[in-house]
Chain A
């Protein structure tokens, strides 16, 4: 179990970081999901799938708690970005910060769908099953999310490229 978990960690971290926008939060999310999974490990058919879904559920729960206590999400996002500037010194840091910020501006559902589609390589149908949405809705969310990111001038140099309304995934 231990080695299998460690092998999964990088991909889990990627998903968690994309969901939360910070290393600290993503590591906490991964750790919570793993802690939840370990007691059931022998009965989990697909650990990666189980952990992925657990992280998404935990993250949803976290978002809801923030809403309940009427916290403003923006300060926490800004704090996370500031923290990462101090944490990371690699060449990708500015790019990652830009992408994190762009994702943070998207609705949580859109962010989750885009990550599952393009980072986890799930199909619209698989994402729909994970999130309880019909595939058509997932495709619409992907379309809107891609369009929003594509038009973000901090991510692409030519964001004004004409983007027709229809797309296929």
Chain B
């Protein structure tokens, strides 16, 4: 394919799609929305005063999470919940035998302006000093959009003990605001994402939960490779780096 081919296709697309005149109806609708932003804000589920989400938002920022609610649920399972009335079920690794898992769950108030997709999150994590793989593309989705990125705290091939952050993006009504982070170590099972996808009860559908899961070890059950404090510290770093956009304070 030569430049002439590219030029012809480019010209065709530009001619066809650049600057399509909107209908009068659309112009009027946009003008009306712009003239009444308050009405839209009230309809915005993120802001509506009567939003069920807001009504139950009683959570505290992660930075003081330890002071809010640390619930030890047998077998070494720790859960910090924010706006849930019921304790969240622990996230289990695939094919997991009983393991010790520390889970930190926080509510994201708004990520859209900072985190638009996996690439953005990758940038954030890179800025934090993580070394990120290329985003994973799920070919089964129609858009073949990247939905996952894994970042480690040291460059190169993962070795046991490395911390990593894995982010999963979902596709819901709120679209790519869905993000779930998993923090663990590479000695543990490499999450294939399924355990996060299955965690719909943790907010997959409403897209407002980030779950940090420290790694669990293949080397033996009941072994916690990453202490909850490490998870909290990492989350705090992300909070600070994003100006609270992910974990608003």
Q: Taking beta carbons and an 8 Å cutoff, which residues of A are in contact with B?
A: 1-2, 5-6, 9-11, 13-15, 17-18, 23, 26-27, 30-31, 34-35, 38-41, 43-44, 50, 53, 57-58, 60-61, 63-64, 66-67, 92, 95-96, 99-100, 107-109, 112, 114-115, 117-119, 128-134, 137, 143, 145-147, 149-150, 155-156, 161, 163-167, 169
User: How far does the Cβ of A67 sit from chain B's closest Cβ, in whole Å?
Assistant: 5
User: How far does the Cβ of A75 sit from chain B's closest Cβ, in whole Å?
Assistant: 16
Ranked nearest first, the 6 interchain pairs of A and B with the lowest CB-CB distance are: A132-B119, A2-B34, A132-B146, A10-B19, A132-B118, A13-B20
Report whether A163 and B31 are in contact in the complex, using a CB–CB cutoff of 8 Å.
no
User: How far does the Cβ of A103 sit from chain B's closest Cβ, in whole Å?
Assistant: 8
Which residues on B sit within 8 Å (CB–CB) of A5? 30, 34
Report whether B175 and A61 are in contact in the complex, using a CB–CB cutoff of 8 Å.
yes
Q: How many interface residues does chain B have, given as a range? A: 35 or more
Report whether B22 and A161 are in contact in the complex, using a CB–CB cutoff of 8 Å.
no
Which residues on A sit within 8 Å (CB–CB) of B142? 60, 63-64, 66-67, 108
Report whether B122 and A132 are in contact in the complex, using a CB–CB cutoff of 8 Å.
yes
Give the contacts of B168-198 with A (CB-CB under 8 A).
171-173, 175-176
Report whether B22 and A30 are in contact in the complex, using a CB–CB cutoff of 8 Å.
yes
Report whether A57 and B134 are in contact in the complex, using a CB–CB cutoff of 8 Å.
no
Which residues on A sit within 8 Å (CB–CB) of B9? 114, 118, 145-146, 149-150
With A39-B40, A133-B146, A150-B5 given, name 20 new contacts (CB 8 A).
Answer: A2-B34, A13-B19, A13-B21, A23-B23, A31-B33, A34-B33, A57-B116, A60-B145, A64-B142, A64-B143, A99-B12, A107-B144, A118-B10, A119-B17, A130-B116, A131-B119, A132-B149, A149-B9, A167-B1, A167-B2
Report whether A11 and B19 are in contact in the complex, using a CB–CB cutoff of 8 Å.
yes
Residue of B whose beta carbon sits closest to that of A4: B34
B156 within 8 A of A: no
Cα of A36 to Cα of B221 in the assembled complex, Å: 46
B154 within 8 A of A: no
Which residues on B sit within 8 Å (CB–CB) of A137? 137
Interface string of B16-46 (1 = CB under 8 A from A): 1111111101110111011101001100101
B201 within 8 A of A: no
Residue of A whose beta carbon sits closest to that of B113: A43
Which residues on A sit within 8 Å (CB–CB) of B144? 107-109
Which residues on B sit within 8 Å (CB–CB) of A150? 1, 5, 8-9
Q: Most A CB atoms within 10 A — which of B112, B143, B144, B149?
A: B143
Cα of A61 to Cα of B142 in the assembled complex, Å: 10
Report whether B116 and A118 are in contact in the complex, using a CB–CB cutoff of 8 Å.
no
B117 within 8 A of A: yes
Whether A31 contacts B26 in the complex (CB less than 8 A), given A39-B47, A60-B145, A131-B117, comes out as: yes
22 contacts across the A-B interface (CB closer than 8 A):
A2-B34, A2-B35, A9-B27, A10-B21, A27-B25, A27-B26, A34-B30, A34-B34, A100-B16, A128-B119, A129-B119, A130-B119, A132-B120, A133-B119, A137-B137, A146-B6, A149-B12, A150-B1, A155-B12, A161-B5, A163-B1, A167-B1
